[in-house]
Structure 1
Amino acid sequence: METAEGRDGGEFDQAIEVLEEQTSVLWRRERTTSHALAKNVHPEMEPAAYGILTLLQREGSLRATDIAASIGVGKPSVSRQLAGLERLGLVSRQLDPYDARSQRVLLTALGEQQLAAAQTGRRTAFTALMRSWAPEDVEKLGVLIARLNSTYTKDTW
């Protein structure tokens, strides 16, 4: 069997099997890391909320529906996470200047500070972990992971 690129199907299937196994290991480790990062931001923060904070950091203020769409979860789940983040003083809500019926969510000064501190710790850990790699390999890995992430625009299973 030939793939579109002309490679042998057996080799491709074997490569996919290795990729699936290794990404599973990576994602399990990332879940553990996300749990630790969330606790570094605030001891009572749920790990799933970390992604919301980083999204707000990158995008600025967003409506809850936009947050839900961006991270691929339902609005009730996002609303619950936002309520917890607001209770911890990490996010606040303000009226949407373009739609008075809607609110926008943004990081508070405390949220920005705590998130930046957790990210600095993560970056330090990554630097120590990858120190023995050649810079071009680290760059190549980043490019390949970005390419993999771009294929996840919609679930296929």
Structure 2
Amino acid sequence: MEREPAGGAPGVTEGASAAIAAIERELTLISRYTVMVTNRSAANQRLERSAYLLLSRIEAEGPMSIGQLSEAFGLDASTINRQTAAMLRAGLVGRIPDPDGGLARKLRITEAGLARLHADRDWAVNGVGRVLADWDPADVATLAHLLVQYNITIERRQGRLWPRPASAQPQTS
């Protein structure tokens, strides 16, 4: 049974409300498909999602403290501690003194962690590439642009921008 989209968002017209409901549904399906595609098998171990995200952030920004990671992700320090402890045990990150002379030790990616991160990213990029192989390159570029724009809008509202290369920034005309 199809429900009418929930309204009430300021400035959202009825037509836009239906489009927003469709976007929400498709984002839900994207997350479902991502989980299905990234299931680990015994023969092909993948990083846990939290490790992938934490390693990606450390790769983008350089060594980070627990407090910096907690702020970047909007999570309690205890949650970040638990996640990074597993990464330390697995040899994906190591603790180093703060290169800037601060008191808090920082986490840096080990060579093994970087290799795992890059292998998982290559695997994911190849999977997305297979899905989009028959798409027009202009449509792929448009989808990439709109997804970046969508995520940056969320990040700005939360006050937590994710570092991106300049090439990934949405172009303004």
| TM-score bracket, shorter-length normalisation | 0.7 to 0.9
Unaligned runs of 5+ residues in structure 2 are 1-9, 159-173
How far off is 1:39 after superposition? Answer: 3.5
Which of these residues, 131, 136, 157, is aligned with residue 133 of structure 2?
131
Number of residue pairs matched? 146
Q: 1:130 to 1:118 in 2, by over 3 A?
A: same
Q: Is the 8 A contact 1:34 1:50 kept in 2?
A: no
How far off is 1:33 after superposition? Answer: 4.5
Which of these residues, 58, 61, 83, is aligned with residue 59 of structure 1?
61
User: Aligned residues: percent identity?
Assistant: 23
How far off is 1:15 after superposition? Answer: 0.6
Which residue does 1:84 correspond to in 2? 86
Q: Is the 8 A contact 1:86 1:92 kept in 2?
A: yes
* Structural RMSD (CA): 2.3
Residue 48 of structure 1 aligns to a residue in which SS?
Answer: helix
Unaligned runs of 5+ residues in structure 1 are none
Q: Which has the higher helix share?
A: 1
Which residue does 1:26 correspond to in 2? 30
Larger deviation: 23-32 or 134-143? 23-32
Amino acid at match of 1:16: I
Q: 1:99 to 1:10 in 2, by over 3 A?
A: same
How far off is 1:150 after superposition? Answer: 1.4
Correspondences of 1:5-154 after superposition (within 5 Å) = 9-33=13-37, 36=40, 39-41=45-47, 46-153=48-155, 154=157
How far off is 1:30 after superposition? Answer: 2.7
Q: TM-score, normalised by structure 1?
A: 0.82
Q: Which has the higher strand share?
A: 1
